[in-house]
Amino acid sequence: MFNSYLENTLQYYPEKCINCLMCTQVCPHGVFTEGKEHVELKSPASCMECGACAGNCPVQAIEVESGVGCAWAMISAALRGKDMDSDACCCGEDDGCCQ
């Protein structure tokens, strides 16, 4: 099991994966990539915890706490009608999701 709690809340259980590739299609950051028997994590640190992969995985092979991190910061900022604090950004990339 992969556990990236140091970076974000994304957890992946490859032993459950049936290789449907749904997560590779819905992830906006290309975190998952095609593998031989199951998908592989290509860039787990890029996960912005939007929850799309976990919500679309038919066998619960992915868990992520959406409502925290970068995606949540953007939603909160939009609800407040303010720009997002740069401190709240988790991606730390010039071309990341918060640009």
> Which stretches of the chain bind ligand SF4, using CB under 6 A?
10, 17-23, 26-29, 31, 38-39, 47-53, 56-59, 61-62, 64
Question: Judged by CB, which is closer to ligand SF4: 81, or 97?
Answer: 97
Question: Judged by CB, which is closer to ligand SF4: 2, or 82?
Answer: 2
Strand order in the sheet with 62-63: 2-3, 11-12, 62-63
Pairing of strands 62-63, 11-12: antiparallel
Q: How far is the CB of 89 from ligand SF4 (least distance, A)?
A: 14
Rg (CA), the chain: 14
